[in-house]
Amino acid sequence: MSNAPVLKAPWRSLLRFLGGIRRLSRRTNPAKLLLIGYSLYALIGWFVLCLPLSQSRPVAPLDSLFTSVSAVSTTGLVTVDPGSTYSPFGQFVLLCLIQAGGVGYMTIGSFIMLARHARLSSMRSRMTRVTFSLPNQATPAQFIRTVILFTFACEALGALALYPVLARAGIDNPAWSAIFHSISAFCTAGFSLNPDSFEAFRDDPALNLIISALSLLGALGFLIAWDIWRNFTSRAHHLTYTSKVILRMTAILLLLGTAVFFLAEPSIASLPQDERLMAAFFQSMTASTTVGFDTHPIGTMGYPSLLILFLLMAVGASPSGTGGGLKTTTFAAMLGLLRSTLKQRRRVVFFNRPISPSRLQAAGAAVFYFMVLLTASVFILTLTEHGPHFEQLVFEAISALGTVGLSTGITGSLSDIGKLVIIILMMAGRVGILSFGIAVALHEDSEEETSDHELIP
């Protein structure tokens, strides 16, 4: 007679279910897994935020879903004020969702496995490569360690730096506020416990510097941190081509936005000179990193400035970082294609390096799909939203799709259908524009026909 333990029927069913999930995950395309994973996080967050324990005052279920998706996608668009609507427990839940969305929903779990001296499964390694667009020379296990250590180091230092600034300003519970805003800034989430974001701190150099530094560190991407760390710990003494492109494109976009806002935006030009420069830079930074904080109300800005914000939000941050948008590398590839086409060259070159056809294919597809999603969403919003102006709807849609979180002030007044449209755009932006398209359109039998690493920028 066998001595093996006899499992009861419910436990056998549960084990069969978990085994089925594991087998399914091995066959499923990583893009689909990304969408499923972030959707599950958002649904769990929605359930917890709907509990009375999470709320300081009653919140409609759709608004809690909107807030949960916004947190997981690190967007920052809100239909209710998080600081006054959610209890301390609810704010803690938001922070957990932001952290999970910022570093990737599987990254923390993979780090725990590595800390216990366990090896990453092939599925986790594959997901890490797709989530962070890792180059072939990057080892997923080593990269995950760098991501977690870099993230917590930046967030801890940011919280320590923010505490005296917020305490001096008389913010309630400055320690919690410093922790919350540090994580929100590094994860480029843009969630704030202040009803007016950081508009009250427009003339505070310390806060502008700290928030900008955290946002840029998160938006530049973990590839930059990994590249720099690799230079310190190995014999390599130069940055990779990708890192150079990211740094140069980020600097160009920041300078472009700052110059336009400083020179051409009347509501900023009327400010004192030093405050004017800080406001111009912060608005450029917050759009290009997709962090979504603001020190100057967006609703007061003119059409030329809104047009530049459209561009900065659409391009967004860099691959493998916490920001959204099309990514600076995609924008660089399109610039290289344009330049080569105008000069009638067959090879596409950017910064004296050729761009592979697979990269150009991915960049072109991402830009086109971005325009398809944007056009479809704005079309629906023009049918359902009758109060806001057309440019406000376009701004809201780009902000959601780029996971930026900036708004002209219409988010809370959107209809239920309008909120659902924005929810879909935020999730698409977090998964990645092209990854979302692949997840929605790809059939399982086509998985072997294409390389995930080649298609997803």
pLDDT in tens, 4-38: 444 455 545 545 544 554 555 555 677 787 888 88
pTM: 0.86
pLDDT in tens, 369-405: 999 999 999 999 999 999 899 999 999 999 999 999 9
Distance CA 157, CA 134 (A): 27
CB–CB of 457/131 below 8 Å?
A: no
What is the amino acid identity at position 92?
F
CB–CB of 78/67 below 8 Å?
A: yes
CB–CB of 411/396 below 8 Å?
A: yes
Nearest Cα neighbor of 370 from 404, 397, 340 is 397
Nearest Cα neighbor of 272 from 287, 262, 282 is 262
The two tokens of residue 140 are 């997923």
Distance CA 327, CA 283 (A): 18
- DSSP letters spanning 297-350: -GGG--HHHHHHHHHHHHH-S-TTSS--SS-HHHHHHHHHHHHHHHTT-SS-EE
CB–CB of 166/78 below 8 Å?
A: no
Q: What is the pLDDT of residue 30?
A: 74
Mean pLDDT across the chain, nearest whole number? 84
Nearest Cα neighbor of 300 from 216, 202, 221 is 202
Length of the chain: 457
Nearest Cα neighbor of 208 from 270, 282, 141, 153 is 282
pLDDT in tens, 103-120: 876 565 555 555 555 565
CB–CB of 437/418 below 8 Å?
A: no
Distance (Å) of CA 282 to CA 181, 204, 313: 16, 12, 14
CB–CB of 79/63 below 8 Å?
A: yes
Q: What is the largest CA-CA distance in the chain?
A: 89
- DSSP letters spanning 381-402: HHHH--SS-HHHHHHHHHHHHT
The answer to which of 297-301, 302-306, 384-388, 432-436 has the lowest mean pLDDT is 432-436
User: Does residue 282 have a pLDDT over 70?
Assistant: yes
3-state secondary structure of 86: strand
Q: What is the pLDDT of residue 121?
A: 62
The two tokens of residue 347 are 């090879």
pLDDT in tens, 185-244: 999 999 999 989 999 999 999 999 999 999 999 998 777 877 777 777 666 567 788 888
Contacts 24+ apart (CB under 8 A), 229-238: 229/146, 229/150
How many whole angstroms from its chain centre is CA 9? 43
Distance (Å) of CA 307 to CA 41, 44, 272, 279, 311: 34, 37, 24, 17, 7
